[in-house]
Amino acid sequence: MAKKTVAKTPTKNANPALKNATARTSIAPTGAKARAIAATEPVSPKLKGGKTANPLAPERVAAILDGLEKAYPKAVCALNHRSAWELLVATILSAQCTDVRVNLATPALFKAFPTPKAMAAASLPELEELIRTTGFFRNKAKSIQGAGRVVTEEFGGEVPHTMEELLRIPGAARKTANVVLGSWFGIAVGVVVDTHVLRISRRLELTKETTPEKVEKDLMRVIPQAKWIEYSHQVIYHGRQICYARKPRCADCTLERLCNSADKTWSSH
């Protein structure tokens, strides 16, 4: 696996403990460096209404992937983990929660219950207290306890590495399964679609869909399978640092020349 870089991630949360939380990250290039990368990519012809002529052209998709690779060459999963089991649990906890907050909670959780068998035997109140800060802690406690039970009883204590088997684990929907398969096992059977991937893929006109399942199907059609894992990691970092939902930092975007989104805040073409 690629070397994982750990860097501090700022947060506005008032909890002082979060100041020491960390998440793996790949820092986005900004200013002149970002514009230099953008200048190496072609300009996508623009139509009226924030539309691109032939947005799914293979050469345009290739340019988007090239711009992301130049900006985030070492992008990896931001959730801290040492095994497939830890990644599975961390991903379940990350639902509607930041990676920084999950990374703050998991060290104590895995110290107390380091194996699927131990997690399955834990009481719900114990689990709830350890993951309380991740939000929706009661449902998540049931999910990770159930995940421990299924992994122990049905898979011999080892996290399975097929989509079909992972989907049998409580709390593991398709997104979670794709994270584990891609980030730990290096198996690309789908594309992780979180809020950043959905938003940016729509802005880049790689899809018109609005649900993760349909967006994933579109991305699997237009992006080469060899790039499915990297695409998700890179776009997630891009969404967290540059392509915000509101007021995206288009002047610092390495994909700016390829993007004709109607909500751009700056344009070179």
Asked if 220 contacts 191 with a C-beta cutoff of 8 angstroms, the reply is yes
Q: Helices (H) and strands (E) in the chain — how many of each?
A: 12, 4
The catalytic position among 74, 117, 194, 214 is: 194
Q: Which amino acid is at 258?
A: L
Count how many residues are written for the chain.
269
b/e per residue 87-122 (b: at least 16 CB within 10 A): bbbbbbbbbebbbbbbbbbbeebbeebeebeebbeb
Annotated catalytic, 194? yes
Annotated catalytic, 66? no
The catalytic position among 70, 140, 175, 227 is: 175
Q: List, by residue number, the catalytic residues.
A: 175, 194
